[in-house]
Amino acid sequence: MSRPIHARIDLAALQHNLHMARRATSARVMAVVKANGYGHGLLQAADALRDADGFALLDVRDALQLREAGFRQPILLLEGFFSRDELPLLAEYELTSVIHNQSQLDWLEAYPRRNGLSVWLKLNSGMNRLGFASAEFPAVLEKVKAHRAVRDVTLMTHFAQADEAAGVEPQHEVFRQVAGAQRLPCSLANSAALLRYPATHGDWVRPGIMLYGSSPFADVAAETLGLRPVMTLSSAIISIRQLKAGDAVGYGATFRADRPMRIGTVACGYADGYPRHAPTGTPILVEGQRTRLLGRVSMDMLAVDLSDVPAAKIGSRVVLWGEGMAVDEVARAAGTLSYELLCALAPRVPLSF
């Protein structure tokens, strides 16, 4: 028999979360499926999200997979093309590319084809990651619009604090001042802006994390937003032992029992994608009952407190995150984000759909 750890992907939940995104906007929905569909499987996630108006990802090879699987919607390369050699592929497979720097403009200028490319031109409105500065953006836009190879242009930016109290207004105002007068399609809203700032929706919204059942907000639960968990990572108890007061658990002896305790060992560790830095107290479900992680996470195992879970036995089901145990709560306890947990799921963990 194989190790008991596996991740179940609820494709119906993906479809539901896409529906929730659609309910929140009248804009077209560009479903973000980068990072192997946030760890959920690119082709499986895209198939569940087939009703989306388009898909966004990073790698041209992933885009070709979608095309070859029969997806005909617009496919957006969020970081654009990485060399001039990719431009013919973009034209052949009708892929849409973000343009965000001068090198891409230079490569585009050397491309001889006419009227073959759809591009999204990115404005750096304050995140200072990708995009053209406000001062240069108008001239770049005119150059791109006039280019012989460009068929159509969409304007875009990305918000740095849509999920925080600071909100989007400073960046939104930059976008309005620099690009607002243009009669061109635009795209600004990620999951957080889609849910909280309707004025930013424009023509295309780009939901990502909300599609996978996680809240983009630290202070609002996914369930409150009507979202359903898509990935449930589960395993089983493979060992049980009794501790006496003073006994240590795991590498570094970072946890010591302060009383007699019953603990279990779970077949899951950081090589499976569970965060090594998750501290004692991180919530876990055993036999459907909340309990806690104990000590340091190992490569292949972790320890769990069974003192108040009398039904637990060898083989008992353990939910690390997902149904009944929100990935956001686990991530918060571990000092990270649900994005990291979902995307870090290791290839050795079997997926079931």
- Sorted by sequence, the CB contacts under 8 Å of residue 187 that are 6+ apart come out as 30, 120, 154, 155, 156, 202, 203, 204, 205, 206
Nearest to 151 by CA among 113, 115, 187: 115
Q: Tokens at residue 182, please?
A: 């243009």
313 included as an active-site residue: no
* Of 122, 251, 270, 313, catalytic: 251
Burial (CB count within 10 angstroms: exposed 0-12, middle 13-18, buried 19+), residue 65: middle
251 included as an active-site residue: yes
- The rounded distance, in Å, linking the Cα atoms of 312 and 240 is 9
What are residue 204's phi and psi, to 5 degrees? -135, 135
* Of 34, 38, 122, 274, catalytic: 34
Q: Tokens at residue 57, please?
A: 């990802």
Nearest to 14 by CA among 44, 55, 56: 44
Element (H, E) at 166: none
**Residues catalogued as catalytic:** 34, 251
